[in-house]
């Protein structure tokens, strides 16, 4: 899992050496993993998934996994419905007939925590309050999800992660990026989110509490309790994504990276910061 994460997100900024250090794995181990030959099962799963996604695209994203399984069986694949469902879920495919995420019954998790932030969005120092949220964007393959971590002091996006699955690992990736970028002193930080199952998952709560971070959660159904993160997503979609045609996941990932790291943090002027960008606000402090 960690090697796959490094392979997917390595870049000039997030080098292999840096990510191996953050994730606690060896660079030599990563390159050995990268050069391995895929097993016959992996090869067959990739062949099956290519057929499923091509067939879904041919039918304009309408069929669910059962109909796609039947189509695969009809052309000679030996596979079960469960296998087809698992492959499509990992790829992030969602039928156009399916309900939008967020309108389904939430998955179980640890109990929700009280709203300690209490809409006190003005913060006097960096790395004192981080807020986080997740949004989804329709794409060619189905849905693409974006998790962000914002430092309320400067409204800067200090960590983010995009991908095909809306799960706790998406949040963890955003948190790991934020931690590597900011390297805050342990203890004394407040982390605020909504009550989503991703944030109430055991692995996310453990990751935060192990670093001495206090957790806070919005009241149920009250988006104003996390207004700054919600506002960022509204700006991303209105200012940037709205003008684009429907994108692929890879294209959305690239657009989000440019918007966050090159425009929003460095160029975009914020009224709450006195008319300067987040980066300029931090530099002037």
pLDDT digits (tens, 9 = 90+) for 37-54: 778 888 899 899 999 988
Give residue-wise pLDDT tens across range 118-130.
999 999 999 999 9
Long-range contacts of 2-7 (CB under 8 A, 24+ apart): 3/29, 3/30, 3/33, 3/34, 5/173, 6/30, 7/34
Phi–psi pair at 72, nearest 5 degrees: -65, -45
Query: pLDDT at position 65, please?
Result: 87
pLDDT level of residue 103 (50, 70, 90 thresholds):
very low
pLDDT level of residue 97 (50, 70, 90 thresholds):
low
Element (DSSP H or E) covering residue 25: none
pTM above the 0.75 mark?
Answer: no
pLDDT level of residue 102 (50, 70, 90 thresholds):
very low
Which of the residue ranges 26-35, 135-144, 257-266 has the most confident prediction, judged by mean pLDDT? 257-266
Query: pLDDT at position 217, please?
Result: 94
* Dihedral over alpha carbons 150, 120, 200, 171 (to 10 degrees): 0
Give residue-wise pLDDT tens across range 141-180.
888 999 999 999 999 999 999 999 889 999 999 999 999 9
> What's the CA gap between 285 and 273, in Å, rounded?
11
Query: pLDDT at position 144, please?
Result: 93
Give residue-wise pLDDT tens across range 193-233.
999 999 999 999 999 999 999 999 999 888 899 999 999 99
Is the pLDDT reported for residue 108 higher than 70?
Answer: no
Is the pLDDT reported for residue 257 higher than 90?
Answer: yes
């Amino acid at each position: 899992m960690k090697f796959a994460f490094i392979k997917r997100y390595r870049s000039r900024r997030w080098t292999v050496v840096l990510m191996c250090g953050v994730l606690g794995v060896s660079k030599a181990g990563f390159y050995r993993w990268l050069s391995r030959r895929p097993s016959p099962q992996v090869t067959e799963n990739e062949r099956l998934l290519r057929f499923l996604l091509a067939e879904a695209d041919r039918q304009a994203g309408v069929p669910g996994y059962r109909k796609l399984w039947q189509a695969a069986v009809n052309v000679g694949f030996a596979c079960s419905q469960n296998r087809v469902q698992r492959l499509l879920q990992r790829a992030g495919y969602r039928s156009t007939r399916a309900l939008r995420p967020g309108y389904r019954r939430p998955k179980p998790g640890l109990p929700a925590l009280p709203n300690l932030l209490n809409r006190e969005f003005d913060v006097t120092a960096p790395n004192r309050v981080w807020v986080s949220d997740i949004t989804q964007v329709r794409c060619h393959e189905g849905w693409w999800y974006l998790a962000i971590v914002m430092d309320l002091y400067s409204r800067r996006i200090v960590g983010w992660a995009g991908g095909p699955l809306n799960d706790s690992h998406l949040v963890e990736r955003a948190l790991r990026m934020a931690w590597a970028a900011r390297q805050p002193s342990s203890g004394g930080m407040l982390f605020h989110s909504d009550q989503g199952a991703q944030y109430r998952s055991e692995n996310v709560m453990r990751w935060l509490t192990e670093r001495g971070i206090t957790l806070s959660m919005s009241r149920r159904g009250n988006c104003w309790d996390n207004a700054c993160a919600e506002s960022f997503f509204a700006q991303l979609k209105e200012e940037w994504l709205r003008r684009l045609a429907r994108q692929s996941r890879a294209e959305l990932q690239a657009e989000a990276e440019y918007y966050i790291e090159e425009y929003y943090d460095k160029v975009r002027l914020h009224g709450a910061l006195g008319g300067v960008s987040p980066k300029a606000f931090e530099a002037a402090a």
